Amino acid sequence: MIVTAKLGFSAAHRLHNPNFDAEWNRQKYDKCDNAGGHGHNYVIEVSVSGDIDPQTGMVIDLTKLKDIIRRELLDHVDHRNLNSDVPFLGGVIPTAENLAVSFWKRLSPAIDEGALCQIVLHETEKNSVVYRGE
Ligand SMILES: [Zn+2]
């Protein structure tokens, strides 16, 4: 059984790899390399798999799961600059791919009922990534 909680946050980022020159970065990241930075309204879907607890009828209480997501992730990234304001993203180029991996590392140990099995991160309405762990 898989249950999913869906939440949103807004954050600014700039995609830029300092190991390469301006032209490489412009070609790779286009608008997301804008030095002024820009933001996205991200949507994250966190899925937990496990057995249904016969006493509660639930895999994990979704209210509790959302509290964990807020405490571990959203309180740290919402309305922040992902390049500079979030210690656990230090040194990470904040692409949706890298964010999903970093979010997995923070969330996985915090989920104590069932197991984290998938993170879907929507950067825009049209662009999203799916991460299922290593
Ligand atoms: Zn962007």
The whole-angstrom separation of Cα 7 and Cα 43 is 6
Residue 113's CB is within 10 A of a number of other CB atoms, namely: 16
Residue 39's CB is within 10 A of a number of other CB atoms, namely: 12
The whole-angstrom separation of Cα 19 and Cα 16 is 9
Each residue of 79-118: pLDDT tens digit?
A: 999 999 999 999 999 999 999 999 999 999 999 999 999 9
The answer to whether 40 is a known catalytic residue is no
Q: Residue type at 84?
A: S
Each residue of 2-48: pLDDT tens digit?
A: 999 999 999 999 999 999 999 999 999 988 888 777 899 999 999 99
Q: What is residue 6's three-state secondary structure?
A: strand
The whole-angstrom separation of Cα 94 and Cα 74 is 15
Residue 105 tokens, joined: 């590392």
The whole-angstrom separation of Cα 72 and Cα 91 is 19
129, 45 Cβ separation under 8 angstroms: no
Catalytic annotation, pick one of 13, 16, 32, 122: 32
The answer to whether 23 is a known catalytic residue is no
CA of 130 to the centre of ligand 1 (A): 17
Q: Model pTM?
A: 0.94
Residue 53's CB is within 10 A of a number of other CB atoms, namely: 13
- Which pLDDT belongs to residue 4? 98
CA of 39 to the centre of ligand 1 (A): 6
The enclosing H or E element of 62 equals helix 62-69
The answer to whether 32 is a known catalytic residue is yes
